[in-house]
Amino acid sequence: MLKQKRFWLGLIISLVLLTYIFYQTDPANIFDALRQANYVYLIPALAFYFGGVGVRAVRWHFLLRSIKPIQNGALFRAVVIGYMANDVLPARMGELVRAYILGAQQNVSKAATLVTILVERVFDGLTMLTFLVAATFLLQVGDPEMNTRLRLGGGVFIIAILGLALIAGMPRQIERLADFFLRRLPSASWRERASGLMRSILAGLGVLRNPGDSLTVYALSLVAWLCETAMYAIIAIGFNIALPLPVFLLACGFANLVTIAPSTPGYVGVFDAPLVYTLILFGINRDLATSYTLVLHAALFLPVTLLGFYYLWRAGISLTQMTRTETNA
């Protein structure tokens, strides 16, 4: 029931945002812009994008090293399959799919793997806020309310990172505290499963015990997202959109933070509306902004989805099998 409600909520949000995107647009102008665009720029843009995916695989390798060292190639394939799943499945199942694939192929604890993915998401959020704050400063946006919200958002993520680091830095104390509560569970099997889950969580947070490791993860996150931002900027050149790089930092940060909201698979609407809004804010015609956003979203969606299906086929795992396993879990 909850999943059905989330699906309908996501569908409504996507439809509302699509209405905003196409409101007062001229389809003829949109098609003209699409015809006149130079699609040769998709080649370097996709090179940057998949370079960023490669950096994400390296980052994941770094996070998993205290659990089990895994080759970057295997992690790259798992990341791509996870992106594909997010693009075609409801309820953001890509993260569960990633953990399933890695667990099935590399014999790694899914619980510990999911914790490393949680750490990734925290650093991704921090990186997006870094982009927003940097863009606000570089573009000299004099909106005090926006600056206040950015500082508050940054504070929330800093507190989250410090909290996770505190838990990771005191594994024995946390285990003793957990055991105190777990002993009160009525079932021995429940206690055993909960205790194993706690150990997996602490193992997954291992990277945060070292400030140097945390800085490394943050640096890799910056590089990965800068690669994606470069993709945004390069495709814009193909549409003769001449804007400074900080605008694309703002667009990337804004769009990817908004994708936290429920939506249809593939982030339809929730990714596109912030991009269109940002471009209009900096003087780009609505029709041109919409055309650019359609191509950018397609470039982010189609190649990685097709590659993800290919990797899934090579692994001998069906999408139905994966979703059934994760639903039962």
User: Would you kindly state where each structural domain of the chain is located, as residue ranges?
Assistant: 12-328
* Mean pLDDT (the chain, rounded): 84
pLDDT digits 0-9 by tens, 88-106: 887 678 888 888 888 888 8
Lowest pLDDT segment from 113-122, 133-142, 244-253, 278-287? 133-142
Instruction: Look at 144 and 251; give whichever has higher pLDDT.
Output: 251
C-alpha to C-alpha distance for 89 and 97, rounded to whole angstroms: 10
| Residue 60: pLDDT over 70 | yes
Q: Please report which confidence band the pLDDT of residue 315 belongs to, taking 50, 70 and 90 as the band edges.
A: confident
Name residue, tokens 């549409």.
239
Query: Of 260-264, 268-272, 316-320, which one has max mean pLDDT?
Result: 268-272
How high is the pLDDT of residue 206?
64
pLDDT tier at 14, thresholds 50, 70, 90: confident
Number of C-alpha atoms within 13 angstroms, CB side, residue 121?
Answer: 13
* Contact criterion met (CB below 8 Å) for 168 and 208: yes
pLDDT in tens, 149-201: 656 766 676 676 677 677 777 777 877 887 777 777 777 777 777 777 677 66
Instruction: Grade residue 1 by pLDDT with cuts at 50, 70 and 90.
Output: very low
30-59 tens-digit pLDDT: 999 999 999 999 999 999 999 999 999 999
